Structure 1
Amino acid sequence: MASTTPKGLEIHPRQPKFGLPEPMPRHWHGGDAFKTHLFDAMSVLFPDGERFFIDSVRLFREQIDDPLLKEQIRGFIGQEAHHSREHAHYSERLRELGYDVDYLERGLKRRLAFIQKHLPAELQLAATCSVEHLTAIMADAVLRNPLWLQGADPTMARLWRWHALEETEHKAVAFDVYQSVCASPWLRRRAMLQSTVFFTIDTLKGLIHMLKRDGLLWNWRVWRDGLSWLWGKNGIYRELVKAYLDFYRGGFHPWQHDNLYLVEQYRREFDAPTKVA
């Protein structure tokens, strides 16, 4: 199978200089603990998760014949490697604030090690496709819906926009590799169900841990406002449900969610203008 990423969309890693705040504000998302720690909890998963995604695609790289898809695999690996590095720096800031990042990472590390040792390579790639879809639909929302980062520290908001842009650019690469070497809709659906459960558990674990360290775990207003932000009338998660369910369709492809205009819009923020001689 050839690449299905839109023609002309080059996938290349960027290395923007973020200079994360030192110390990082404890509640950098507009002073809101719930919003901040939802993002923090997801970030903790990325250093190990992104390395897993890279490894799962590399297992099949030599089976790909399409030159364009091979080039996009290189771009995918480069982008994910930089994401892993930047979120590792992010985790260091969280450690400095007193959060037990090692505790939060431990379960994920064990689970990924088990998967890589005992489960078929095709299932590992299907898991990558699944989580890439989760990150792609959230990335789309971050870039499109200002409510996701409204009021956030500008440096932290820029970090998340950068990550969202690159997740959007490469959202079909692992999927195209999977379609080339396996293409089983059943295995893909199974992997999505499992990935959704573990992603939810891991994120909730991080959120609870950080709120507990802040002394806010049992503050009902924090939970009321946070859950309303996620699932209320204009909740940021509510708008993701249809896009999430599309993954279970037999004929699904990531670029059926065509948001190329967002890529073009946000590239202006992160890609330096070309100098004319």
Structure 2
Amino acid sequence: MASTTPAGLQIRPRHLDFNLPKPLPRHWHGGDAFKTHLFDSMSVLFPDGERFFIDSVRQFRDQISDPVLKEQIRGFIGQEGHHSREHLEYSNRLRDLGYDITTIERRAQARIRFTQKKFSPQRQLAATAALEHITAILADGLLQNPEALAGAHPAMARLWRWHALEETEHKAVAFDVYNQVCGSRKLLRRAMLMGTLFFFLDSTRGMLHMLKRDGLLWNWRLWRDGLQWTWGKQGIFRPLIGAYLDFFKAGFHPWQHNNLDLLAKFSSEFEPAASTAA
């Protein structure tokens, strides 16, 4: 299928120093443990996950002849590499607070090693394209909905806006590479189902661990309010369901969800430090 990636879209890493607070406030998201650990648990998965994304795309880089896509791959690798480094530092801040981050990391690392050993390169790339769609719609929700980061520590909110911005920019790169070297929709849909299962399983496990360490695992008010904030009538995740399901449609491409307006709105926050080369 033809790519609908906007012409002229530039994908370049922004080399920023976020100066994450040290120590990190235990409940940096407005004093709310549920909101904080929802973000924390996803963040712990990113360093290893994004290195996997880079590796899966690199396996096919030499098969791509389109100079535009080749340049986008360079930008994708640069952005994901920087994301991995920043979220690794974020994980270290969580480790300093007494959370067992190492166990969470090892579980994710074991699954990645299994995937790389047992699955074909095409299937690994399909997994990357699927998970990039999940991160893209989460990024879109974060940038679209001010409630997602309302009350958060300014440095942490800035980190998440930066990550969301760059996930939006490169959301179709792995997808476009996959379509050029494989293109099987059946394999892509299967990868999405598996990726969704393990992403939410791993992030939920991490969240439960952190809440348990805080002594809040059985606080029913926290769960009531948190589930209302995420999946309730005005919940931050509820509007993303349709965008998620679009992935399973024949002929879907990530840039059919055209949110260039968000790039224009938020990129200026980081533009002074933007890299001039991928």
Structure 1 residue 4, shift from structure 2 partner: 4.0
**1:63 Cα offset (Å):** 0.4
Partner of residue 206, structure 1: 206
Q: Deviations over 1:54-94 (max 9, x none)?
A: 00000100000100000000000000000000000000000
Q: Secondary structure at the match of 2:272?
A: coil
Partner residue in 1 for 2:34? 34
SS of match in other structure, 2:103: helix
Task: Show the 5 A alignment for 1:14-33.
Answer: 14-33=14-33
With the length of structure 2 as denominator, give the TM-score of the two structures: 0.97
Cα displacement (A) at 1:273: 8.6
Partner of 1:111: 111
Question: Whole-Å Cα distance in 2 between the matches of residues 88 and 40 of structure 1?
Answer: 11
Q: Deviations over 1:156-191 (max 9, x none)?
A: 000000000000000000000000001111000000
In structure 2, the residue matched to 1:56 is 56
Unaligned runs of 5+ in 1: none
**Is this contact kept in 2: 1:29–1:35, CA < 8 A?**
yes
Supply the distance in 2 between the matched residues of 1:91 and 1:185 (Cα, whole angstroms): 35
Percentage identity across paired residues of the two chains: 68
Alignment match, 1:97: 97
Following superposition of structure 1 onto structure 2, how do residues 31-180 of structure 1 map, counting pairs within 5 Å?
A: 31-180=31-180
What amino acid sits opposite 1:154 in the alignment? Answer: P
In 2 relative to 1, CA 43–152 (structure 1 residues): closer, same or farther, beyond 3 Å? same
Deviation at 1:2, TM superposition (A): 7.2
Distance (whole Å) between structure 2 residues aligned to residue 273 and residue 97 of structure 1: 30
Do structure 1's residue 265 and structure 2's residue 254 form an aligned pair?
Answer: no
Q: Shift in Å at residue 5 of structure 1? A: 2.2
Given that residues 14 and 273 in structure 2 are in contact (C-alpha distance below 8 angstroms), is that contact kept between their aligned partners in structure 1? no
1:218 is aligned to: 218
AA at the equivalent of 2:7: K
For each residue in 1:87-135, what CA deviation from the matched residue of structure 2 results, as whole angstroms up to 9, or x when unmatched?
0000000000000000111111001001101111111000000110000
In structure 2, the residue corresponding to 1:87 is in which secondary structure? helix
C-alpha distance in 1 between matches for 2:20 and 2:273: 24
In 1, the alpha carbon distance for the partners of 2:119 and 2:160 equals 32
Post-superposition CA distance 1:235-260 (Å, at most 9, x none): 11111000000000111000000000
With over 3 angstroms needed to count, the CA separation of the structure-2 counterparts of 1:273 and 1:152, relative to structure 1, is closer
What is the Cα deviation at residue 265 of structure 1? 1.0
Query: Match of 1:238?
Result: 238
TM-score, length of structure 1 as denominator length:
0.97
Deviation (angstroms), 1:213? 0.2
CA contact (8 A) 1:4 1:176 kept: no
Letter in 1 for 2:15: Q
The 8 Å contact of residues 143 and 262 in structure 1, kept in 2 or not, is answered as yes
Amino acid at match of 1:43: S
Contact 2:143 2:262 in 1 (8 A): yes
Q: Is 1:3–1:68's contact at 8 Å kept on the other side of the alignment?
A: no
Aligned residue for 1:65, secondary structure, equals: coil
Kindly tell me the number of residue pairs found equivalent between the two proteins. Answer: 274
Q: Which residue of the partner structure matches residue 188 of structure 2?
A: 188
**Distance in 2 (alpha carbons) for counterparts of 1:66 and 1:118:** 30
**What letter is aligned with 2:174?**
A
